[in-house]
């Protein structure tokens, strides 16, 4: 009969028993983690390459067609946002104010939290002013100032 002093915990034996009992589960979990990590790394690499390609295309763009190509090929990204603003700038330079406003409104709709949203609203207002729509331009200036936390105190507004 075995006594308490004869029963000892052998770490090597316990490890071997643990491994024999759970090896399939352990290997499965490790495989899932490795595959998940590889998938995530692959996705990040893909995103980085897409961003680099979009930035390169934007850097080489000089015409409205070039900017439109950036917008169509890489929608939703920062280069597309910049392409909208640059396209609107070229349209305004050619005195296509209504077309520039359409482009700016697309930018505003797609990128409402972009850091250059005030620039877009100011461009819309300036284009309205150039079209002779002073009242609309003024209300756009005032609305854009209100949207961004600026208070307008003007005798015109009183």
**For 81-132, how does the pLDDT look when each residue is reduced to its tens digit (9 = 90+)?**
999 999 999 999 999 999 999 999 999 999 998 898 888 999 999 999 998 9
CB atoms within 10 A of CB 99: 17
Q: What is the pLDDT of residue 153?
A: 47
Tokens of 91: 């349209």
CB atoms within 10 A of CB 87: 25
pLDDT of 150 above 70: no
Under 8 Å between Cβ of 83 and 70: yes
CA distances from residue 16 to 9, 22, 31, 94, 136 in whole angstroms, order as listed: 12, 10, 21, 79, 80
Of the pLDDT bands very low, low, confident and very high (cuts 50, 70, 90), residue 148 is low
Tell me if the pTM is above 0.75: no
**Within a 13 Å sphere around the CA of 22, how many CA atoms are in the beta-carbon half?**
9
Of the pLDDT bands very low, low, confident and very high (cuts 50, 70, 90), residue 11 is confident
């Amino acid at each position: 009969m075995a006594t308490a002093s004869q029963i000892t915990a052998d770490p090597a034996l316990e490890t071997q028993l643990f491994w024999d009992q759970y090896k399939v589960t352990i290997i499965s979990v490790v495989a899932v983690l490795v595959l998940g990590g590889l998938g995530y790394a692959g996705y990040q690499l893909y995103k980085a390459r897409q961003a680099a390609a979009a930035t390169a295309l934007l850097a080489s763009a000089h015409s409205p067609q070039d900017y439109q190509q950036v917008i169509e090929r890489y929608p939703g990204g920062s280069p597309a946002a910049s392409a909208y603003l640059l396209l609107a700038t070229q349209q305004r330079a050619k005195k296509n104010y209504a077309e520039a406003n359409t482009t700016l409104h697309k930018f505003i709709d797609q990128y409402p939290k972009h850091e250059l949203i005030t620039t877009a609203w100011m461009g819309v207002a300036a284009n309205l002013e150039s079209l002779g729509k002073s009242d609309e331009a003024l209300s756009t200036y005032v609305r854009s100032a209100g949207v961004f936390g600026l208070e307008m105190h003007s005798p015109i507004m009183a």
